């Protein structure tokens, strides 16, 4: 018995090895094999049809039948070639290829009838029908068998998965997974009652009430979300239903990436936090997007940062005449320059990109750049924005965020730039840290200069756009949480009650551009950030959607814990977007205009001169006092945290 089993196993291995050599052979060899196989199938179908009808082996001695077959074979093979049967990749054979096989068989059958008539070969009228039936079975069936062997390689164990969504995206994903080597779709889940219990591509569609049973039955570890990414509210609703299941949720790329070729249907990703939040973006106003950009020279400071780089991408799509990139980091400048050149090439657009290294603290260079390239629009995104970093480096924060903004704005006035848009932050509202205070001071600088410019009948129009956290920016909690989950945790959250507003970088950048086009001078625009998000809840959702469980009092044996580290220096529990209550809605429903306290230039200038001197003298106590005296609403939560100052005070 053991010998029989060993011989059987050996035969299986030999067969598998032979098939492996066949499947990995070059395309010309595979085509030759297909042609030879079809030649045999034609002969078999022909003689089988004759024998079935005449039931007499004597037909093999009839020369007329042999002559008919010898002419029929090259004619039929020629038809097959013209129908593309040997160009189709059998592994990915489709309904179109199956239709081609049907047409080829029909033409071969017609050729049989035509040749029999002109060669005066007496064949019964039913022979062509039987011949067509045999040929379709042999030619079509052989290809389907090969496709089945290729889609299910021997010995390959694929992970069972459930696809949520039986629409066109779900069907494409299922087809791709069936032909792949990693996942095997065992069920569709769909909310459409009309297709429940139906079979789609051989896979049964179930209602969402059956998910738990399917997970237990098939040992499911992953659910693949195959739905249009545009309907974020519906996706968020589905994710809320799925997050408590002990499975990982993955999603397919967005339709834009699929159409552009940036991604394939089976390139599965972690669930987007944008989808999780369920925030539907508002279609941008094309006139507002183009107003300050189309056919203009546009300059972006901090062009290599997370916001600056996305602004550049959005600007490119509006076809400016020239884009001037100002960036302090050499690598960041190199990266964004290369990306923009590639993007312009894809858009078939001859764009002039001017990549410049430089600091916003060097006014002479700024003025020279603006005059040389005749800059018409500036988006000022250069800033130090990380709260703890600025708390530990106070003077550089003040120099870069306040005086950097002042120098760019003054250079813009002298160079007669038309539009100046400052990227501000919700941390500028009743700030508890130096970073937020410096950004509020930057707003005050622009408000004062806007008033001064109006009085002098200057050309430059200033405005500022204030918004909260953006998903995926440098320092954002989302990529940090993902890394912590992958490494097994714990996830670190500063406080169990901390709350933040979130927006995607592309949406924020589009709204910044549109708000900038609406500014009349000195405007403070506030973006509608939607509902605030509790960071601890966001962390828990990300853990559960990764197929893991949260360690808490109810589940002490969970997989990943959430560790609370305490608020960092200058960090607030709640961020706000407005200082006062005086706010008006603009024509864009996601953009509001705030009317807030400001100082005329002659008053603000006195504070700035004293602040400049205090920075020069490294007088941190004076810097703190001046920031408290300015109308910024600064209420520090901590003492001076500058690392150099604290080290000096120890001595």
Catalytic residue set? 427
CB distance 411 to 370 below 8 Å = yes
Q: Hey, what are 74's tokens?
A: 């090259």
86-92: long-range contacts, CB 8 A cutoff, minimum separation 24: 86/31, 86/34, 86/35, 90/34, 90/143, 90/146, 90/147, 90/150, 91/147, 91/150, 91/151, 91/179, 92/179
The order of strands in the sheet holding 491-493 is 491-493, 560-564, 550-551
Distance CA 378, CA 445 (A): 16
Which residues make Cβ contacts (< 8 Å) with residue 72, sequence separation at least 6? 42, 46, 108, 111, 112, 115
**Residues facing 162 on adjacent strands:** 187, 223
Provide φ and ψ at 78, rounded to 5°: -60, -40
Contacts of 428 (CB under 8 A, 6+ apart): 436, 437, 439, 440, 442, 443, 466, 632
What is residue 284's DSSP assignment? Answer: P
Query: Which residues are CB-contacts of 429 (< 8 A; sequence separation ≥ 6)?
Result: 436, 440, 466, 575, 576, 577, 578, 579, 633
Q: How many helices (H) and strands (E) does the chain have?
A: 25, 23
CB 278 within 8 Å of CB 235: yes
Cα–Cα distance, 579 to 570 (Å, whole number): 18
Q: Tell me how crowded residue 162 is: count the other CB atoms within 10 A of its CB.
A: 22
**Strand (E) positions, 544-629?**
550-551, 560-564, 583-585, 591-594
Pairing status of strand 591-594 against strand 523-527: antiparallel
* Token code pair at residue 456: 């002098």
Question: For residue 270, which phi and psi values (nearest 5 degrees)?
Answer: -60, 155
Cα distance between residue 508 and residue 528, in whole Å: 10
**Sign of the dihedral defined by the CA atoms of residues 545, 551, 553, 555, in that order:** positive
Q: What is the DSSP string of 233-275?
A: HHHHHHHHHHTTSSSEEEEPPPHHHHHHTSS-TT--EEPPHHH
The whole-angstrom separation of Cα 650 and Cα 647 is: 5
């Amino acid at each position: 018995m053991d010998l029989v089993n060993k011989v059987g196993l050996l035969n299986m291995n030999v067969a598998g090895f032979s098939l492996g050599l066949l499947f990995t052979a070059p395309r010309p060899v595979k085509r030759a094999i297909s042609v030879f196989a079809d030649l045999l199938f034609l002969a078999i179908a022909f003689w089988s049809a004759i024998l079935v009808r005449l039931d007499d082996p004597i037909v093999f001695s009839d020369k007329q039948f042999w002559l008919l077959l010898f002419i029929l074979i090259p004619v039929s093979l020629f038809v097959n070639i013209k129908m593309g049967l040997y160009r189709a990749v059998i592994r990915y054979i489709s309904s179109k290829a199956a239709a081609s096989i049907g047409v080829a068989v029909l033409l071969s059958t017609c050729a049989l009838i035509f040749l029999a008539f002109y060669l005066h070969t007496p064949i019964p009228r039913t022979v062509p029908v039987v011949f067509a039936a045999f040929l379709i079975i042999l030619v079509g069936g052989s290809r389907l068998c090969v496709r089945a062997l290729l889609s299910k390689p021997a010995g390959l164990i694929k992970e069972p998965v459930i696809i949520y969504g039986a629409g066109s995206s779900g069907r494409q994903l299922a087809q791709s997974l069936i032909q792949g080597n990693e996942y095997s779709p065992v069920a569709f889940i769909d909310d459409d009652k009309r297709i429940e219990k139906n079979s789609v591509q051989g896979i049964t569609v179930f209602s969402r009430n059956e998910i738990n049973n399917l997970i237990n039955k098939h040992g499911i570890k992953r659910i693949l979300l195959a739905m249009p990414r545009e309907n974020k509210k519906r996706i968020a609703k589905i994710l809320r239903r799925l997050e408590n299941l002990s499975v990982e949720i993955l999603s397919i790329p967005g339709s834009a990436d699929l159409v552009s070729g940036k991604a394939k249907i089976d390139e599965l990703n972690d669930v987007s936090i944008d989808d999780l939040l369920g925030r539907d973006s508002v279609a941008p106003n094309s006139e507002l997007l183009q107003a300050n950009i189309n056919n203009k020279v546009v300059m972006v400071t901090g062009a290599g940062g997370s916001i600056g780089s996305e602004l550049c991408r959005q600007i490119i799509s509006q076809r400016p005449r020239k884009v001037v990139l100002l960036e302090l980091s050499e690598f960041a400048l190199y990266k964004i320059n290369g990306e923009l050149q590639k993007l312009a090439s894809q858009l078939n657009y001859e764009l002039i990109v001017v990549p410049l290294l430089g600091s916003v603290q060097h006014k002479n260079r700024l003025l020279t750049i603006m005059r040389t390239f005749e800059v018409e629009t500036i988006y000022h995104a250069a800033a130090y924005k990380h709260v703890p970093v600025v708390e530990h480096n106070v003077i550089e924060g003040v120099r870069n965020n306040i005086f950097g903004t002042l120098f760019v704005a003054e250079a813009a006035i002298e160079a007669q730039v038309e539009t100046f848009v400052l990227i501000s932050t919700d941390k500028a509202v009743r700030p508890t840290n130096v970073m937020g205070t410096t950004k509020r001071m930057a707003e005050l600088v622009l408000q004062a200069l806007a008033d001064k410019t109006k009085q002098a009948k200057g050309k430059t129009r200033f405005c500022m756009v204030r918004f909260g956290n953006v998903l995926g920016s440098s320092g954002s909690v989302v990529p940090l949480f993902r890394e912590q989950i992958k490494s097994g945790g714990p996830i670190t959250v500063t406080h169990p009650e901390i709350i933040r507003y979130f927006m995607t970088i592309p949406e924020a950048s589009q709204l910044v551009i549109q708000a900038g086009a609406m500014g009349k001078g000195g405007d403070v625009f506030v973006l509608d950030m939607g509902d605030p998000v509790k960071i601890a809840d966001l962390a828990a959702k990300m853990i559960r959607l990764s197929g893991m469980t949260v360690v808490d009092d109810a589940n002490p044996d969970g997989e990943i814990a959430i560790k609370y580290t305490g608020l960092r220096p200058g960090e607030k529990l709640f961020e706000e977007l407005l200082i006062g209550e005086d706010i008006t809605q603009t024509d864009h429903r996601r953009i509001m205009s705030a009317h807030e306290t400001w100082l005329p230039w002659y008053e603000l200038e006195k504070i700035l001169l004293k602040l400049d001197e205090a920075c020069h003298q490294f007088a941190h106590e004076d810097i703190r006092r001046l920031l408290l005296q300015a109308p910024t609403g600064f209420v520090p939560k901590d003492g001076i945290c500058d690392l150099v100052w604290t080290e000096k005070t120890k001595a």
